[in-house]
Amino acid sequence: MAVPVRNPADRLLHALAQLSAAPIPRELITPALVAPPRDLSQSAIDRALDQLRRHHLVTARSTVKVHPLARQVVRLMARPAPADWALGIENALIGFTLDRLAQTSSPDPVLPLLVPHLVRLTMIDAWHSYRAVRALLNSLADRLRRHGDTDAAVTVLRRILKANELRYSATHPRASRCRRNLAAALQELGRHREAARLHRATYDIRRRTLGADHPHTLRSQRDHADALPVLGRHRKAAELYRAELETRAQREDHPNTLDTRTRLATALHALGRYEEAADLHRAVLTVRRRTRGERHPSTLRARVDLAVTLDALGRTGEAAELRGEDHRST
């Protein structure tokens, strides 16, 4: 049964109740949010909001919150929400978010407040813009990370992950991609143990569902290995890198082979296995010289890597010769 819409306050309360229980930005409460026919002016919306506030159905300051009992009653009176109501609220919320994202590249305190309401859209089957909302949430997370608010970005990414797991499953490819993005953000915050657990979970899921030699599984294996050295788990990282090399079985000059060999050599160096590390660095340097040339940045990086390991072996003369005159101070 549709909720009565006899007056603007009824209509506004119904629209607000369809959103999340989280605070609602005051700027979002416009005629566009109220279900059709949209014949209300902004002043009428403001008067309706003040009426709801005076009857203690909402609190209204810089943000608006609907009283929990009022929300529950309104939702029960309109279950499921009529399609025109749902579509109108959905379009208003998505359009408002897009406008805020487009207005400025600087931090916007309103954007994080929109996250729980966008997430609610992803969990309602009757509302049909899941892909658009997911894309908005990812854009919002990227914006927050660019402005250094990685904590807020992590909150957004957690919500995206939960929404994907609820809508699909924990093993769905979209959930795995969300888990990877969340782990990367946690690493930026220095929360390496949490990040490693997420990478391990994605690796285990992909190995079980896709197989050990699938490219996505191998990427997750690399992500998991990359997260371990900062935790002091060099031995496990070396095992994973070596397993990746054996599984990929690619030619020696393939970029993945060279990158993994370098990572393996670094892990072995951290374990004090300098001879093995030097052999790997030397093999990478040989390929880099042949395929990139002596002065390419990747070749120079390989020279430095080998020189550092040779220093650890006490072979400082060879290390200095590798660095060359321009690199003696490295």
48-72 pLDDT tens trace: 999 999 999 999 888 999 999 998 8
The pLDDT of residue 330: 43
The pLDDT of residue 190: 93
Report for 4-8, 128-132, 273-277: range of highest mean pLDDT: 273-277
Closest CA to 248 of 220, 298, 212, 300: 212
Closest CA to 81 of 45, 31, 35: 35
Cα–Cα dist 202/259, whole Å: 21
- pTM of the predicted model, to two decimals? 0.73
Least confident of 95-109, 152-166, 177-191, 256-270: 95-109
The pLDDT of residue 78: 67
Q: 89: alpha, beta or left, given left = phi > 0 and alpha = psi -120 to 50?
A: alpha
The pLDDT of residue 325: 45
The pLDDT of residue 128: 56
How far from the centroid of its chain's Cα atoms is residue 171's Cα? 17
Cα–Cα dist 11/15, whole Å: 6
Closest CA to 282 of 258, 254, 249, 314: 258
Three-state DSSP state, 250: coil
Whether residue 2 is predicted with pLDDT greater than 70 in this model: the reply is no
Whether residue 17 is predicted with pLDDT greater than 80 in this model: the reply is yes
Percent of the chain with pLDDT over 90: 46
pLDDT in tens, 27-41: 999 988 886 655 788
DSSP character string of 89-153: HHHHHHHHHHHHHHH-SS--THHHHHHHHHHHHHT-TT---HHHHHHHHHHHHHHHHHTT-HHHH
Place of tokens 């629209």: 15
Whether residue 188 is predicted with pLDDT greater than 80 in this model: the reply is yes
The pLDDT of residue 79: 58
Q: For the chain, what is the mean pLDDT?
A: 86
Sheet holding 63-66, edge to edge: 24-25, 63-66, 58-60
Give burial (CB, 10 Å; 0-12/13-18/19+) of 226.
middle
Whether residue 13 is predicted with pLDDT greater than 60 in this model: the reply is yes
- Element containing residue 63 per DSSP (H, E): strand 63-66
- Residue 328 pLDDT grade (very low, low, confident, very high; cuts 50, 70, 90): very low
Contact 153, 144 (CB under 8 A): yes
239-244 long-range CB contacts below 8 Å, 24 or more apart?
A: 241/267, 244/218
Three-state DSSP state, 24: strand
Cα–Cα dist 295/29, whole Å: 60
The pLDDT of residue 82: 57
Percent of the chain with pLDDT over 70: 89
The pLDDT of residue 92: 87
Contact 257, 245 (CB under 8 A): yes
Whether residue 183 is predicted with pLDDT greater than 80 in this model: the reply is yes
pLDDT in tens, 146-163: 888 888 889 889 988 888
Residue with the larger pLDDT of the pair 270 and 323: 270
pLDDT in tens, 288-321: 999 999 889 999 999 999 999 999 999 999 889 8
The pLDDT of residue 107: 75
Whether residue 104 is predicted with pLDDT greater than 50 in this model: the reply is yes
pLDDT in tens, 116-136: 888 777 766 555 567 777 788
Whether residue 1 is predicted with pLDDT greater than 50 in this model: the reply is no
Place of tokens 């966008």: 118
The pLDDT of residue 324: 76
The pLDDT of residue 311: 94
